[in-house]
Structures are given as structure tokens and as C-alpha cells.
Structure 1
Amino acid sequence: MTDLVTGTLADGVATITLNRPEGHNAMSWGLVDAFSTVAQRLAGDPGTRVFLLRAEGKNFCVGGDIRAFADEADPSDFLRRLAGRLHEGLKFLFDHPAPLVVAAQGASAGAGLSLVAGGDVVLAGRSSNFSMAYTGIGLTADGGATWLLPRVIGLRRTQELAYLGRRLNAEEAADYGLVTRIVDDAALADEAQAVAAKIAAGPTAAYGGVKRLLAASYGADFAAHLDAEAEAIATAMASADAAEGLAAFLGRRPPVFAGR
């Protein structure tokens, strides 16, 4: 049986691939469970320096597998368990110092949109589109959407997506700040790999410090956040990568970071 989600690690790039193309990578229990298992495994590998989340097939992820919901004896309990398992995997990615690169083609809807919103760098195929979709079938959002989207695109735009069911094309998603930039469909995979490789060669611990500071910025007052920045930069200064960065700068050569 084909793995619904695959995970590989090469040269610091931990690649997570949604691999249910015939089902448009809809989130069945099997896919969600495999996603969280792969995320945990790769997050626990000391060689991981960047995550690359991609998908096989025409669409990145169309959200939950609605047909599977309808087949359950207790759909409410099933969705509670499904969302909980998905969130376990997302926490491993969020808590890890390595940035998350997302390559999104075709449709990203529902939890698929949540995966996009959680990326640190998001590349979108030129023909891609993005929608919340949940309220169209009478559901609320999961996957961190109501926490991530107001931070990424703003409250008013999030409300529009949620209440009016608006679908964004790639240009609109870039204008909203949902995606980092648009890439020609045929170049998406190669460009995402190149971006991930560049990040994997960087100072992973410092990236993790920036990632934590950004996540905490909305919940801290300015003075407290300044203190957190001072502590973070002092911690970074004690790292091997900072020593290499300074030596490279003074020696007028490119740095070779080890990720620690």
C-alpha cells in the first residue's frame, strides 16, 4: 500500500509529502495520522534544519475528507479525534527551530489552507487558489487557522474568507500576504527545493530564535519583548554558528553554518 504521507531527510531538508493525489490529499484519518507520525519523526531527527511540505497531484490539500465524515457513526467524535491528531503533528513543526517551507499547487482549502498559513516561506503555483471552506458545510476552522490567519493576513480579511467563503487566486493570496511569492506551476517543485536548501545551509538555532520571537510578539508588551530579544541575541552569540558567522565576516568569506 502506498504511504499516504512520506518523510525523507537529505542534506538538512526534511521533506514531508502528502501522497494521496487521487483524493486531492483530503485529510482522511489515515493521512492525518501518517502526517503527524512523519512530523514527529523528522522533528526528532537532529539532522533536520528545514521542513519542506509539499504534495503530489493536482491539488495541495482540499481539506477534510467529507465522505469519511459522513460514514462515521459519530461524526462529531471523529472530527474531534481527527483535529486533535492533526494538531499534534502541527505542534511538532511549530515548536521546532527549523523554518517551514510550503509549496502549494492547485487548491488549498480548509485544513489545507491552515497548512499554508503555518508556513514560514510559502511558494504558490500560478494557478493555485485558497479558501477556508469550513463554514460552507457548517463547520468551524481547525489546523490553527483562526490563530494563524489573523496574524498573517489580518482580522478583516480572515473574516471575509470565513463568512463570505471567498476563494483567493494566487495573485490575491500574494497581495494578502498569505503566500510569500508566486512561481510558475512547472517550476514550483524545483524552486521550493532550492529555497529549502538555502535555509538548510543557514544558522538553524538563530532561525529558531527568530521563529519564537515572532510567535510571541502578539502576546507580549513592548518592554517585555525587548527583554526577550536581548536574551535571544545573547544566546545566539554563544552559538557555534555565530562564531562562524563573525569569523567569516571578518575573513571576507561566505560562512559555513553547522546549524548549532
Structure 2
Amino acid sequence: MSIHDVDAPLRYWRDGAIAHIRFNRPAALNAIDVLTAEGFLAACQAAADDEDVRVVVISGEGRAFIAGGDLAAIKESPVATARALIGPMHNGIALLAAMDAPVLASLHGAVAGGGLGVALAADLAIAAEDTRFSFAYVNIGTSSDCSTSWALPRLVGMRKAMGMALLGETLDAAEALRIGLVNRVVSADALSDETGKLARILAEGPTLALGSLKRLVRDAFSRDLHGQLDAEAVAFAACAGTADFAEGVAAFFERRPARYRGR
């Protein structure tokens, strides 16, 4: 089954410069099985390979974003299934982090386990008021995957991350906003429209500069000050040679909005 099919467990399509990745198993609260994981990797690869993609939006069909891994699928052959599922999920998350296009997670309902990892892997996140966040792994006797252990302490700090991980705490959307798990919280009715507005702002931005910025911020914790200064200098010089930089400077002096092309 193709990721472009409307009934695929993981759907991918483009709307202009906006690429959509949607988890599409609503009857299972979008729990991730092997086919879904493979579709996720295929969708991430499609977005990464498409120079016309300037933002990626990740969402979930039905009542939840992603309720974690599909335990019904995993329990029959736990080790083999876990490996078959985790491999493509991790490769997809790595592609999202490396691409220039910013990644926006649109969240509602349950965001648990691997679903939390996918949400944290995005560069920005917007959540409906009904969203509930759960690390969840300790509740089934396992450690984490999908970059949760890497992203969570960077976003919320070590002590809060430990509380979520070791105690299996569930957070509501207001608390998630307060501690920095998400950027915005909106009503459930407004989620689609507000996601679209953010996606369009990002899609109209200087894509190469946005890519440089996301990598600088993501890598900042792994460098000392001098290393980060060097990385900033290299990235700025690269951006200064782009058409979007020339357009941004021209727009500044001409006192008009910039019209970036992502080049």
C-alpha cells in the first residue's frame, strides 16, 4: 500500500510547499505498528528528497495524535517486532532533524510513548486543549525510543524529565505549555486552522536559514561556546550567499515584506 493512499496507515501528501505526514489508524488511536513505522520512514524520505517542501506538518487522524506503539502487534514477538518498528521510526526522526524544512507537530488527544517521541522530534508543536502527554514506557516495563530520552530533558530539564520518565506522569496541555513541551495551546475546534496558519508562515520563510537555525539550536548542547561560535560563523556565511538573504536585505531597505523562495 502506498503512503499516498487515503486509507494507508501512514499518509503523505503535499499541499503546495507544505508536506503532510498523518498517522492514519484512528480505530487504534494511531498506535504504531510495523507498517505504520515503515510508512513514516517513507514519508520522511519523500519530504527530505523534495526541494519544494518548505515545511512538514505531522498530525494524527481521529481522536488521538499517537497513543504509542501497538502493543497487540508487539506482544506476539516482542524483540523482533520492536526492532522492526523502532528501526524505521528512528531513521525517519533523524531525517526530520536533518532537513532544512521546519517540522510542525499538530497535537490532540493522546500523545504517548513513541507518539510523544514524534511530537518532541518536531521543531515546533501546537496542541489542542484536550491533549494529554505521557511518557508511558515505564507503565509497560520498558525503556524509551523515538528520541524521547534525548529530547525531553533538553526541553523541560533533567528533574521534570525524570519525573515523567520514572513515574509515568501524564500532563495536560496547559502544563505542557508551561514547561515548554509545546509552543501554543488552542481550542480543539481551532487546531486545524491555527496549524495551517503556522505552516503557511513557515512555508513562506527563508527555508535554508530556518534549516541552519534548527541545526544550530539542536546541536548547541553538544558544543562549548567556542565551538558554537564557529558553527554560527560558518552557517551565517553560507546563508549570506543565498538568494533569500539577498531578498531579505533588499526588502529591508525597500521597506516591504520579503518574498522568500527557499533558495
State the TM bucket, normalised to the shorter chain: over 0.9
String of CA shifts for 1:44-86, please: whole Å, max 9, x gaps. Answer: 11111011001110010000000111122xx112212211111
Secondary structure, aligned partner of 1:71: coil
String of CA shifts for 1:204-225, please: whole Å, max 9, x gaps. Answer: 0000110111111111110111
Letter in 1 for 2:249: L
Matches of 2:101 and 2:153 in 1, distance apart?
Answer: 23
Matched with 1:34 is: 39
Letter in 1 for 2:153: P
**TM-score of the superposed pair, with normalisation by structure 2:** 0.96
Matches of 1:55 and 1:243 in 2, distance apart?
Answer: 38
* Conservation of the 8 A alpha-carbon contact between 2:29 and 2:62: yes
* Conservation of the 8 A alpha-carbon contact between 2:73 and 2:81: no
Matched with 2:255 is: 252
Matches of 1:236 and 1:100 in 2, distance apart?
Answer: 20
Question: Which aligned pairs between 1:1-260 and structure 2 lie closer than 5 A?
Answer: 2-72=7-77, 75-260=78-263
Matches of 1:3 and 1:149 in 2, distance apart?
Answer: 30
Secondary structure, aligned partner of 2:75: helix
Q: Which runs of 4+ in 1 moved over 6 A?
A: none
Letter in 1 for 2:24: N
RMSD: 0.9
Secondary structure, aligned partner of 2:12: strand
**TM-score of the superposed pair, with normalisation by structure 1:** 0.97
Secondary structure, aligned partner of 2:66: coil
Secondary structure, aligned partner of 2:80: helix
The number of residue pairs the alignment matches comes to: 258
Secondary structure, aligned partner of 1:78: helix
Query: Which residues of structure 1 form unaligned runs of 5+?
Result: none
Matches of 1:4 and 1:80 in 2, distance apart?
Answer: 19
* Conservation of the 8 A alpha-carbon contact between 2:96 and 2:122: no
Matches of 1:259 and 1:40 in 2, distance apart?
Answer: 19
* Conservation of the 8 A alpha-carbon contact between 2:96 and 2:121: no
Matches of 1:136 and 1:204 in 2, distance apart?
Answer: 40
Matches of 1:30 and 1:62 in 2, distance apart?
Answer: 16
* Conservation of the 8 A alpha-carbon contact between 1:11 and 1:200: no
Letter in 2 for 1:61: I
Deviation at 1:40, TM superposition (A): 0.7
Matches of 1:228 and 1:179 in 2, distance apart?
Answer: 27
String of CA shifts for 1:133-180, please: whole Å, max 9, x gaps. Answer: 011110100000011111111111110001111100000100110010
